[in-house]
Structure 1
Amino acid sequence: MAIPIGEMQPAREARRPSRILKLALFIPECLSAATLGLLVLFLVISVVSRYAIDVGLPWSDELARLLFAWIVLVGFAIAVRHRANVGVDWLVNKLPRRGRLAVAMVQDFIVLAFSMFFTWEAWVTVGFSMMQRMPALDITIAWMYGSALAGGVLMIIYALANFIDTLQGRIPVSHIEAEMMRAE
């Protein structure tokens, strides 16, 4: 059955984020939370073993560094999706809706371009790091630099989703606008 082009999808359904995109955000958030819990656990074990039992665990510092890299870089990608990057929106809020939309498109494009560059450089770095090893864990250091690659891939996905949202006219509500809406 053919559907006329003008009746392809109702507007409200076209604006919902897909389940795949929600899952692509939910899984890294859960993994980051679990990694943070694991990092805290290993740091507590390291401190207790070093000061209470007087036995240092040589692998604990390397593991903490590895987990911290994953938390930071995957967390940075999550911040891209939530548009939680640092910005000053005072001037942008003074613009009319079309101006804010144009600024949001430029911003999303710049974030997408940076994400692509970052991912490419992370790919190159992981390639170079395959021969180096972390001495205490005896694994390749590419596991640590892989966090930059994973974060970069997620940043591309999230920046592209943000760009598509902006192209469809869904620009984020600024903090000032949210406060004004609450006051009304």
Structure 2
Amino acid sequence: MHADQHLRETPLARTELLRGHFLHVVRDTVRLPDGQEATREFVLHPGAVMVIGLLDDGRVVLERQYRHPMQQVMIEFPAGKLDAGEGSLACAQREMREETGYSAREWAFAGRLAPTIAYSDEVIDIWFARGLSLGERALDDGEALDVFAATPDELQAWCRSGAIIDCKTLVGALWLQNVLSGAWTLAWGDNPAP
């Protein structure tokens, strides 16, 4: 897009600040459009998925999980990061099964969201799942969460009241509202591609 050239920054150098078990933080030196140099610190992220699981009775699958940075239990849609070399749909299926115990007959890719564009390159793929059947959960070591179901109206009320502040879940609620109203459509299948 040549029209954006006056906004673009040119990367010049990268310094690694932290490479932890989960986080990888870097500092880039960039040339600004006006020719000056500046630094940008941000988190590199492998990508993630979020699943909006639709139960046959119209409710959606949600989780309650303690999030240490927030120091509180949060209500969220099931989600998780991609493993190295893992495709988006495979990750969505794995995370849904591991965290909730549910597997799905049909999947639909909805879209993508970039939750923290000011300080991370993370992109989350949004998936819908239906035709759910419940099996055994297989939580990661040290992972603790409650799985429950709520109506779309309950979900919207929690978003409106501030009981839900997780951005991926807020975006998921927007997608759900538009899909249920018929304003946005999904391409369902047993093996869809993003």
Q: TM-score range by the shorter chain?
A: under 0.3
**Normalised TM-score (structure 2):** 0.23
**Normalised TM-score (structure 1):** 0.23
- Identify, as 1 or 2, the structure richer in strand: 2
| The structure with more radius of gyration | 1
Larger relative CO (CA 8 A, sep 6+): 1 or 2?
1
- Identify, as 1 or 2, the structure richer in helix: 1
